[in-house]
Amino acid sequence: MTIPLFTAADIRIPTPLIANKVRRYEFYIVLKYEFNITPILFPFILQYNVHEGSGKMHNLNIALIGFGSVGQEFSRILIECEKEWAEHYGCSCKVVAIITRSKGSLLNKAGVDLKRTLREIKDNERFSPDNPDQSTLSTAEIIAHKDVDLVIEITTLNIENGQPAADHIAGALKNGKHVITANKGPIAFHYRELKQLAEKENRYFYFEGTVMDGAPVFNLLRETLPGCRVTGFSGILTGTTNFILCEMAAGNSFEAALQTAQKMGWAEADPSLDLDGWDSAAKTAALLNVLMDAAITPHHVERTGISKISIEMIEAASAEGKVIKLLCEGFISGGTPHGKVAPVAIAQTHPLAHISGTSSTLTIETDFTGRLTIEIEEPKIRQTAYALVSDLLTIAKNLDQ
């Protein structure tokens, strides 16, 4: 038998592997035999450990400020993926500190035992007094700690003024830490000053999880659309209110729909945050501040919630071939950016009409690309935690350059 001949053109990389950003490529090589028995798919496996970058390893010691649903899910992902991130992204990270409001705080420069910590929270809803990593340092002390490189701010949203999260972020940046947050408060209230501080301190400050969970919104503009100017946006950005409106359109009462949302853990403990449009206003303000260079707060966003929407209003809209959606809009008026959140009856044929349940969508209009739409289907906590991961790996990539 003769030796098989093949060329570079015959090397096929399975596309799902690329799509999944799997770096350990398995190259299936199509071998062409001389005797016209072509093509024969031969599972000839070449394993490449590709780390796209300098090959340097970046050790990032993380402090989690807040350890609720998002912090815990991030920790589960870190346990699952830490080896892969080190191998393929040159990012070796460990959580060295965790701070909560009432469950205690932990610090260990060698890395907190995340499995144990998650178990303690599951069993006792707090860190165990026997946990050897128990710490009595204050939040400010942990944020400034020499063993911390990166602070992930994931405390509760404060819709009045975005505090104390904004102070946590400013403190971290001033102490030379990179920062990631999924808390929209600081972006909705203090984005401009935090961005300027990050630039001054030469630190990275990312916040992908603040709007649309793991869907790329800020990344999309920053990484893939350089030079584009955002001229406006519209979208459905709060899953809970969209779920309630969909349930009502299906004939269920407002109260029953809200109860379901609360039972599923989608509605905030204080449901008025969603129902009165505050969550949507905070996301609208965050988008205006970041994408349209505004310096506004959620209080500047014209806001109407869904509390006054009745079944009769939904039926009347339906009779006209429309559905009611809580629409978030950003636009330029009189030369300055403005935001508006309000329930709007839109035609059933409108692209936003099909957004169902807790899904969300955003259409962004830019000067060069026209309209671009991003949609995320029924996001869960993993998608929000992934937004932190995406920011983390972006920081590791940037440190490489």
Residues engaged in binding ligand NAP (CB under 6 A): 65-71, 99-103, 139, 154-157, 164, 182-183, 209, 213, 381, 384
Type of residue found at 377: E
Q: How far is the CB of 71 from ligand NAP (least distance, A)?
A: 6
Contacts for 120 with CB less than 8 Å, ≥ 6 apart: 126, 127, 128, 131
Assess whether 263 carries a catalytic annotation.
no
Q: How far is the CB of 278 from ligand NAP (least distance, A)?
A: 11
Tokens at 24, concatenated: 């350990």
Residue with Cβ nearer ligand NAP (67 or 218): 67
State the DSSP code for 263: H
Residue with Cβ nearer ligand NAP (73 or 247): 73
Q: Quick check: bond before 39 cis, omega within 30? A: yes
Tokens at 8, concatenated: 């570079």
Residue with Cβ nearer ligand NAP (32 or 103): 103
String of DSSP letters for 126-165: S--TT-TTB----HHHHHT-TT--EEEE-----TTT-TTH
Q: How far is the CB of 72 from ligand NAP (least distance, A)?
A: 7
Q: How far is the CB of 157 from ligand NAP (least distance, A)?
A: 4
Q: Which of 177, 283, 322, 340 is catalytic?
A: 283
> At 386, is the secondary structure helix, strand, or coil?
helix
CB 287 within 8 A of CB 279: no
Q: How far apart are CA 131 and CA 188, in angstroms?
A: 36
Please compute Rg for the chain using Cα positions. 24
Q: How far is the CB of 70 from ligand NAP (least distance, A)?
A: 3
The candidate with the shortest Cα–Cα distance to 340, out of 382, 280, 294, 400, is: 280
Q: How far is the CB of 338 from ligand NAP (least distance, A)?
A: 24
Residue facing ligand NAP at closest CB distance: 68
Q: How far apart are CA 95 and CA 62, in angstroms?
A: 5
CB 354 within 8 A of CB 347: no
The candidate with the shortest Cα–Cα distance to 205, out of 247, 241, 176, is: 176
Q: How far apart are CA 142 and CA 135, in angstroms?
A: 9
Q: How far is the CB of 255 from ligand NAP (least distance, A)?
A: 23
Residue with Cβ nearer ligand NAP (90 or 209): 209
Residue with Cβ nearer ligand NAP (241 or 384): 384
DSSP H helical ranges for 237-310: 239-249, 254-263, 272-275, 278-291
B/e letters for 182-220, b = 16+ CB within 10 Å, e = fewer, are bbbbbbbbbbeebbebbeebebbbbbbbbbbbbbbbbeb
**Residue positions annotated with a catalytic role:** 283
